[in-house]
A and B are shown apart, each in its own frame.
Chain A
Amino acid sequence: GQQVMQIPQYQHVQEGEDFTTYCNSSTTLSNIQWYKQRPGGHPVFLIQLVKSGEVKKQKRLTFQFGEAKKNSSLHITATQTTDVGTYFCAGRNTNAGKSTFGDGTTLTVKP
């Protein structure tokens, strides 16, 4: 079945440093979603990417979808303490139906 892998598993940064997490799927995806889960919380939807090579920005966050639609990345510029949490990617093979989640990258930010 489909597998979604994320690296790194953990990332510790100093406040103000940049952060990137990478997501790779074993199969070509219809779309990919990104979620953020704060400690003790539930996943919160951030964004969905659909098109090959798509790049989307949300303030300090930049999301990319690979040309082959099998990989994606999330980059945070100048991290803040409010960015702490676990970032999950989730890939879908069709427009509807289930998403397969990676195991996430946990970001900690030292003030």
Chain B
Amino acid sequence: DTGVSQDPRHKITKRGQNVTFRCDPISEHNRLYWYRQTLGQGPEFLTYFQNEAQLEKSRLLSDRFSAERPKGSFSTLEIQRTEQGDSAMYLCASSPDRANYGYTFGSGTRLTVV
């Protein structure tokens, strides 16, 4: 297992287009998290899965954002009708289903909306 994988690494899209990102967590990790990071800021929480169940979603997220983890393995994050303010690094992280474990982050997908 090579860690958390994210695809694509970079995405440039025109405003108004839809984009989808994929995350493959470490295989034995049941928990999966999506965060967003902009320059000079810490990662901002978006949503969290335990297996296939989406347990929490940030109130800051608009309805344009949706995430799935259909079989409890990989996850997708979709952004509809992208806006320039969506430009950021989208980070996926996973952790084991045990208390008090830190996250293993992927390398992220950098989204640029032009």
Contacts and interface: CB of A to CB of B under 8 A. Distances in A.
A104 B102 contact: no
Interface stretch (B20-28, B39-47, B70-78, B79-87): B39-47
Contacts of B56: 97-98
A88 interface: yes
A13 interface: no
Interface residues on B, range: 20 to 34
Contacts of B100: 31, 48, 50, 95
A48 B101 contact: yes
Interface stretch (A37-45, A61-69, A77-85): A37-45
Question: Which of A4, A35, A41 has the most B CB atoms < 10 Å from its CB?
Answer: A35
A99 B99 contact: no
B12 to A, nearest CB: 18
B42 A104 contact: yes
B39 to A, nearest CB: 11
A31 B99 CA distance: 10
13 contacts: A6-B42, A33-B102, A35-B102, A43-B91, A44-B105, A45-B103, A45-B105, A47-B102, A97-B48, A101-B42, A103-B40, A103-B41, A104-B41
Interface of B: 31, 33, 35, 40-45, 48, 50, 55-56, 91, 99-108
Interface of A: 4, 6, 31, 33, 35, 41-48, 50, 88, 90, 95-104
